[in-house]
Structure 1
């Protein structure tokens, strides 16, 4: 058995990283010859509680490394505070001769690196050089990391999703879904502005916008949608997960994600798994999943007119049907969970030694 210790967000934390961790923990690793153990290192709370939670987690990780001696430690990381916590865990692994796999999820990692001081940038490059393997979510992110530190042992492992038998069907009005955390970089304000233009052009019977999420921008967005007078076509349904999210995915026909920064969002893959066409911005590695004209449309971040026109194209049964078939096909061919878990298993079985780096 390969012993793997995985660390990352607690299940209570909202967002894509938690979704990835949940997927991984639900996999039958024993059948693959892997003994998987998970220790959460982060919760959403005030700074004091976050620090206490991490200190306790660090102590547990230290004990696990000393007593159980895992073959590899799989570390989920984004940026800022996440980097600081995971850099400490990386050093703990290195000092004890345990290989570590850093799994990057931070959509603004490059932006954060560029804005960091020289001391922090040196720490970041040190982590990139020393990590036994550094997982990136696509070829664009592979290029970004190599530009920061060319010696990084990057491994491209796209996010994945379980593909259900169901496929969404055309309906009127068309239910258009946004699924994610309500923060500025997700571009939800642009979606509301586009909704206003669509309503003025098409009326309020052709489509409905469903915003599933919560976050720091929620109050501002609700104020904006009231000012735009689009309450008859927009519905804020709050954060959704589990069966509630699956029900929502079955009931909607299109996903819109107008983000300014991303990796490869799980929300896009989840929507594609149900055969939804996608309208998204061409940022991060979204273009590896959304092929313009095949299963959706890619637009420039912040361009409300482009966003409006792309959504409008899909409020047409023939276009919807063609791109729906494309989404399901691309998901089967490129993002099935069987391919994903085989890739991870290969990494776990590689058994790098930190001292060789």
Structure 2
């Protein structure tokens, strides 16, 4: 159940853990002797998710120079499971976690969760085990509802949420909009804002974007689900076809998800096949090529924390058309790095696409501003530095 291996760095494939039960420990420190042991809880390192990206970035960052970093996998990651296997996983994982805390002398448990019911109730178990064993806990929230809305109308459960947050030694948030909400549940000095980051080395070879062609390469990357706004992208594209503007844009959809079959049927039914490509999940060299070729990032999502796709868009110099939800307004400045559109508004999205592709000089200026923003604010060194200070402070 336990193994030791390196976190992936650069262009190599991430370690895959889809075929094993939760409870795998990836120890990434070259010399663990005399280093404080930090255990990162979260999904498989090989899963297609923002939290998996976050974990991989922490494991490949400079944190490993000062701390012994491990990874404990939780969750099913969408695997097809029999009822017996699911029950075994749910009951065995907390026991494996407890054993690992005792055996490996873990000092800090860094729990990566979100305020949605499935993740919250699962991860509360790990938090309570860690606190029972007198471990420090970093409770990092990756999106979901704000705390006052999570158990809306249920005062007892809201008090329970407040108690859980106060059991944590630190609550880490991604977006400024979350900070005020959480400060009503836990002391402000224990609430930290640590935005996501991106490994800028991955984008060093991205060429300067000059937008020389009549047809713009617009892209989307992420899960193919309605709440990511993918249907609005296709609706907007359909409007551009009807306005005979389609020769100016082509869309590539990268990723996978439950809506993929219905989206492909929608493209076929509307005759959009010549203008839409389903690229599937992209990793490593394919992902690098994806961002090198991208000229406009379409991300009309309904709700977010601080999505890695937006940070990657900035790092590659790709202007973005998105919605002002979650932490996105912390990253994207309207008119400088991209433009905002209202939620669920395909017509506004189509108008924004036309506006962007109609002014190539503006797109060139945005592209340069995007790269500068990523380099100034969202480097991996900044992320590792903030977590290093946090771990050191709570260990004491």
The corresponding residue for 1:326 is 369
Counterpart residue number, 1:97 = 134
Number of the residue aligned with 2:99: 63
- Within-5 A mapping of 1:6-17: 6-17=40-51
Shift of 1:16: 0.9
- Choose the corresponding residue for 2:59, options 15, 25, 46: 25
- Where does residue 248 of structure 1 map in the other structure? 290
The number of aligned residues is 351
Corresponding position of 1:37: 70
- After TM superposition, the structure 1 stretch with the greater mean CA deviation from structure 2, 196-205 or 238-247, is 196-205
User: Any residues of structure 2 matched to 1:29-178 within 5 Å, and which?
Assistant: 29-31=63-65, 33-43=66-76, 44-46=78-80, 48=83, 49-78=85-114, 79-108=116-145, 113-115=150-152, 117-147=154-184, 149-151=185-187, 153-163=190-200, 164-165=203-204, 166-169=206-209, 170-172=211-213, 173-178=215-220
Cα distance change, pair 45–209 in 1 and its aligned pair in 2 (3 A): same
> 1:193 is matched with which residue?
235
Distance 2:106 2:295 in 1: 44
**Maintained 8 Å contact 1:168/1:252:** no
The alignment yields a C-alpha RMSD, in angstroms, of 2.0
Query: Alpha carbons of 1:117 and 1:332: their partners in 2 closer, same or farther (altered >3 Å)?
Result: same
Q: Which region of structure 1 is more displaced relative to structure 2, 108-117 or 224-233?
A: 108-117
Is residue 4–residue 73 contact of structure 1 (8 Å, CA) maintained in 2? Answer: yes
In 2: Cα distance, 1:27 partner to 1:161 partner: 11
* SS of match in other structure, 2:54: helix
Between the aligned partners of 1:134 and 1:290, the Cα distance in structure 2 is 24
Per-residue CA deviations over 1:243-266 (Å, capped at 9, x if unaligned) read 221221111111111011101100
Q: 3-state DSSP class of the match of 1:232?
A: helix
Q: Distance in 2 between matches of 1:251 and 1:217?
A: 25
- SS of the aligned residue for 2:246 comes to coil
Partner SS for 2:143: coil
Q: Which residue of 2 aligns with 1:340?
A: 383
User: Is there any run of 5+ residues in structure 2 with no aligned partner, and where?
Assistant: 1-34
Matches of 1:61 and 1:73 in 2, distance apart? Answer: 10
Does structure 1 conserve the Cα–Cα contact (< 8 Å) formed by 2:218 and 2:252?
Answer: yes
Matches for 1:253-292 after TM superposition, within 5 Å:
253-292=295-334
Larger RCO (CA within 8 A; separation ≥ 6): 1
Query: Quick one: distance in 1 between partners of 2:42 and 2:87?
Result: 14
* Maintained 8 Å contact 1:100/1:131: yes
Q: CA deviation at 1:206?
A: 1.4
Cα separation, partners in 2 of 1:260 and 1:37, compared to 1, 3 Å: same
- The match for 2:27 is none
TM-score normalised according to structure 2 size: 0.83
1:281 Cα offset (Å): 0.4
- Counterpart secondary structure, 1:237: strand
| Corresponding residue SS for 1:161 | coil
Q: Per the alignment, do residues 109 and 240 of structure 1 end up closer, same or farther by CA in structure 2, a change over 3 Å counting? A: farther
* Secondary structure of 2:277's aligned partner: strand
Q: CA deviation at 1:124?
A: 1.9
Per-residue CA distance 1:265-298 (angstroms, 9 max, x = gap) = 0001011101110111000010011100011011
